[in-house]
Chain A
Amino acid sequence: MKIRASLNFDVNYTKFAAGIYVAIRQAIILIITLTISLRFKNEFTNLNSSGFDSSNIIFMFICGLVCFKDQFFAQIQFGRSKETAVVSSLINIAILAMLISIVDFIIGWFYAAAFSGELFSNFRSLFFQNYSGKLTFGVSLLNLLWNFFYLAFIGSIGYLIALINYKLPKKIRLLIWLGIPVLLIIINTRLIFMRGGLDFLTNFYGFTKSIFGLPFNSVGNPIKIYLTGTLFFAFNGLVSLLLINKTPIKD
């Protein structure tokens, strides 16, 4: 397997987009923090920073999609086998997940260590909240690993979905991508009525999260997260490899 050039190409192709994304994300967090700290002087414990965590998930998912849509075909053009292209893309996704996790780790730890979370404000600002769980080196390291595993997993899902989408005939593709959301809405609505109210929705969400190695509530078992994250990443990679084997390159 001649993977060096493939990996080099993959990393170079995504590094610019990843750099811009990380820069914008950190800038937004900083601007919001500064704005809040200049405007308000009370505590804002009800502020939620999960949107910023979600942005990482969305970014990695899109990266997974693009890795297949653009980079896979380029590698085929440049004389690599489909298997090498898939392996290279998956390693690239893992590298990207690690880079984003490291950036979060460095900023969070540096911020916490250097300024005790009170550089811009003397209250629990959004910036503080975003890194509230990373106040010590140990906790930050734990967060880094957690970020890495679930981001790599999300990226590999994006890749697999793009691959499945490519393999499907147009009519079936339309049917599936329209049918699945409709089916989920119907099932969800029925479940809500059957189990009595929206409480179940929260539980269902927590349950789904725990299946994928994410914590049911705010605290998760890190070993379980790392293990399931790795297993799901490996599973997605294996399925991708199996699916690509006989897939013809279309126009």
Chain B
Amino acid sequence: MKLEFKHVTKTFGNLKALDDINLVLEDKKIYGILGRNGAGKTTLMRCLAGWIVPDEGEILLDGKKIYGSDELLSKIFFMSEAQTWPKDMNFIEVAKVCKDFYQDSFNYEIALSYASKFNLNTKKKLSKLSTGYISIYKICLTLAMDTNIVMYDEPVLGLDANHRQLFYSLLVESYTRKMKMILISTHLIEEVSSLFEEVIIIKESKVLVYLPSEELVGAGWSVSGKEEMVEKFISDKKVLSSNSLGGLMTSCYLGKKGNQEGLQFKALDLQHLFIELTNSKEAVYEN
């Protein structure tokens, strides 16, 4: 299964939410979709779910247009923040509805067992649940989905650390139960980065980075040492940021690890790299 975004552009009034997005995503991988608030992550997911029609371009699943096709849309499940869930129904009722809509792609018993692990009151209506349990309600149903594409938009919103940990372990369980394409959009990068196989960073409505996560982790470094030595070292590098204090300097740059004596090098983790990339004024990364 191949998912293609071809020149996808979407504008809301004067705001360009997506600007010429071109991506090819493969089956059976976990993708992290990262970006600052308002970067266009949710719009991208909503376009894929058929909720928004792009102004330009198209989204293809195995070469077929997704928008308006029940056949293709039923292969995609989108756990959204939006108020699209039937708020007057309890978890058991909605699980039955999911079974009716998705049939073999939804595991009813597994959904109930996940709800039990999270201590979710399955007889309470969605409208009566707290913010954290609304997320859990959605998470349990989404984790039980075995559609070809499953998308999570801010899945851990309002969850405490214990529940977040449980979610990550169940996400792995769900993925190993049936390999599928999983797209996760989150701001808690550090917690979930180890799960990502590929990372897509969106900055100001455009795809800034699309790389396997292991390549991305070695792509950025921080160098520390005496100011003049660091300045000399970074003079031919793509510098993301620099800080000086009392004659010492720390710089973050894109490129390979250096080996100069007197300088200390440390690989930037995904979160750190993301912050540096999205903070810098210019899109400096070249895929």
Contacts and interface: CB of A to CB of B under 8 A. Distances in A.
A13 B93 CA distance: 11
Given A77-B85, A79-B76, A248 B70 contact: no
B84 A5 contact: no
Interface string B239-279: 00000000000000000000000000000000000000000
A84 B251 CA distance: 55
Contacts of B78: 77
Contact of A78 (B12, B53, B82, B97): B97
Contact of B52 (A70, A71, A80, A248): A248
Interface stretch (B18-26, B98-106, B156-164, B226-234): B98-106
Contact of B68 (A2, A8, A76, A81): A81
A2 B71 contact: yes
Given A73-B84, A246-B53, A78 B70 contact: no
B38 interface: no
A2 B51 contact: no
A199 interface: no
Interface string A214-251: 00000000000000000000000000000001101111
Nearest to A16: B88
Contacts of B74: 2, 79-80
Interface in B1-22: 12
A79 B84 contact: no
Contacts of B212: none
A135 B86 CA distance: 43
Contacts of A250: 82
B53 A70 contact: no
Nearest to A4: B100
Q: How large is the interface on B (under 10, 10 to 19, 20 to 34, 35 or more residues)?
A: 20 to 34
Interface string B23-53: 0000000000000000000000010011111
A2 B51 CA distance: 17
A73 B83 contact: yes
A200 interface: no
Interface in A1-26: 1-2, 5-6, 8-9, 13
Contacts of A79: 49, 70, 73-77, 101-102, 147
Contacts of B176: none
A206 B101 CA distance: 46
A233 to B, nearest CB: 23
A67 B283 CA distance: 46
B231 to A, nearest CB: 47
B140 to A, nearest CB: 15
B51 A76 contact: yes
A86 to B, nearest CB: 12
B84 A248 contact: no
B68 A77 contact: no
A16 B219 CA distance: 59
B185 interface: no
A77 B71 CA distance: 15
B235 interface: no
B98 to A, nearest CB: 7
Contacts of A71: 86
Contact of A70 (B71, B86, B101): B86
28 contacts: A1-B70, A2-B74, A5-B100, A6-B101, A70-B86, A73-B82, A74-B84, A77-B78, A77-B80, A78-B98, A79-B70, A79-B76, A79-B77, A80-B73, A80-B74, A80-B101, A81-B67, A82-B50, A83-B68, A84-B70, A248-B46, A248-B51, A248-B52, A248-B53, A249-B46, A249-B51, A250-B82, A251-B81
Given A2-B70, A2-B74, A251-B82, 17 more contacts: A9-B97, A70-B87, A71-B86, A73-B82, A74-B97, A77-B84, A78-B101, A79-B49, A81-B67, A81-B68, A81-B69, A81-B73, A83-B68, A246-B53, A248-B52, A249-B52, A250-B82
Interface of A: 1-2, 5-6, 8-9, 13, 70-71, 73-74, 76-84, 245-246, 248-251
